[in-house]
């Protein structure tokens, strides 16, 4: 079946603008995760959803970042008033459930460049 998809694949925006990133998880996966990966760096956890609720928002860098998930499926990550330090690859992953056997399947990412 289809894997995790993300859109857009690339986004260039001007400092101060808002951006919205989309993630379509694998069908039937109840858990969804957002990560940020700066150039040459590891994975920075942002937020995860179990169904439509977000039990762990601890990784969101500031109040400019927000995320929602509707219908237990698609999720959007919104960054308001973007800053140059927001430039990174934003990765989404989904897993069948949140728990001990939560193999995560990653999407291709959205490469965000803030000018």
Partner 1 sequence: GQQVMQIPQYQHVQEGEDFTTYCNSSTTLSNIQWYKQRPGGHPVFLIQLVKSGEVKKQKRLTFQFGEAKKNSSLHITATQTTDVGTYFCAGFDYKLSFGAGTTVTVRA
Question: Where on the chain is the footprint of partner 1 (CB under 8 A)?
Answer: 35, 40-43, 45, 48, 56, 91, 93, 98, 100-109
Q: What minimum distance in Å lies between the beta carbon of 16 and partner 1?
A: 29
Q: Report the alpha-carbon distance of residue 35 to residue 30 in Å, rounded.
A: 17
Q: Of 37, 34, 23, 42, whose CA–CA distance to 89 is shortest?
A: 37
Chain CA centroid to CA 32, Å:
8
Rank residues 43 and 74 by Cβ distance to partner 1 and give the closer one: 43
Q: What minimum distance in Å lies between the beta carbon of 77 and partner 1?
A: 16
Rank residues 5 and 80 by Cβ distance to partner 1 and give the closer one: 5
Measured CA to CA in angstroms, residue 76 lies from 23, 85, 101 at distances of 6, 20, 25
Q: What minimum distance in Å lies between the beta carbon of 17 and partner 1?
A: 25
């Amino acid at each position: 079946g289809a894997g995790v998809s993300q859109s857009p694949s690339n986004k260039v925006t001007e400092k101060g603008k808002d951006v919205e990133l989309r993630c379509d998880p694998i069908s039937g996966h109840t858990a969804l995760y957002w990560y940020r990966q700066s150039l040459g760096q590891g994975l920075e956890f942002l937020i995860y959803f179990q169904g439509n609720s977000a039990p762990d928002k601890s990784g969101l860098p500031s109040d400019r970042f927000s995320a929602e998930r509707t219908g237990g499926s698609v999720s959007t990550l919104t960054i308001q008033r973007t800053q140059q330090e927001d430039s990174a690859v934003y990765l989404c992953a989904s897993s069948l459930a949140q728990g001990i056997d939560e193999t995560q399947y990653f999407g291709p990412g959205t490469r965000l460049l803030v000018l």
